[in-house]
Amino acid sequence: KAGVTQTPRYLIKTRGQQVTLSCSPISGHRSVSWYQQTPGQGLQFLFEYFSETQRNKGNFPGRFSGRQFSNSRSEMNVSTLELGDSALYLCASSLSGTSTDTQYFGPGTRLTVL
């Protein structure tokens, strides 16, 4: 079974631009979560989608948004990029997103904002 895939793997943008990251979950998984990983803040939860609905949201500004499609693929968008948005963005999928579910992570998209 193919794992979680994320595209692109690397991205360089400038301040003020916007960016869209894509995540394809493991086949059959309906829950997709997004995380931001930085050396200083560690792993921070952005949001979780299940059946095209955002179920949970972390403490991030409205510039960060996401969506999920009917095939469970998910995208996240960051508008008006800031230098502090430079990070590794990780996507994780699970069968149903319950608290006992194991999350399976993709390799991440490394975003650099100049």
Partner 1 sequence: AQSVAQPEDQVNVAEGNPLTVKCTYSVSGNPYLFWYVQYPNRGLQFLLKYITGDNLVKGSYGFEAEFNKSQTSFHLKKPSALVSDSALYFCAATDSNYQLIWGAGTKLIIKP
Q: Is 65 in the site for partner 1 (CB under 8 A)?
A: no
Q: Is 60 in the site for partner 1 (CB under 8 A)?
A: no
Give CA separation, 23 vs 8, 39, 79, 104, in Å.
9, 22, 18, 12
Residue found by looking up tokens 């990983």 in the block: 37
Q: Is 12 in the site for partner 1 (CB under 8 A)?
A: no
Q: Which of 17, 56, 77, 112 binds partner 1 (CB under 8 A)?
A: 56
Rounded Cα distance between 76 and 49, Å, is 11
Query: Using an 8 Å Cβ cutoff, are 7 and 109 in contact?
Result: yes
Q: How far is the CB of 70 from partner 1 (least distance, A)?
A: 24
Q: How far is the CB of 92 from partner 1 (least distance, A)?
A: 8
Q: Is 92 in the site for partner 1 (CB under 8 A)?
A: yes
From 11-19, 62-70, 72-80, 94-102, give the range in contact with partner 1 by CB under 8 A.
94-102
Query: Using an 8 Å Cβ cutoff, are 74 and 66 in contact?
Result: yes
Q: Which residues here bind partner 1, judged by CB under 8 A?
A: 4, 6, 42-45, 56, 90, 92, 98-100, 102-108
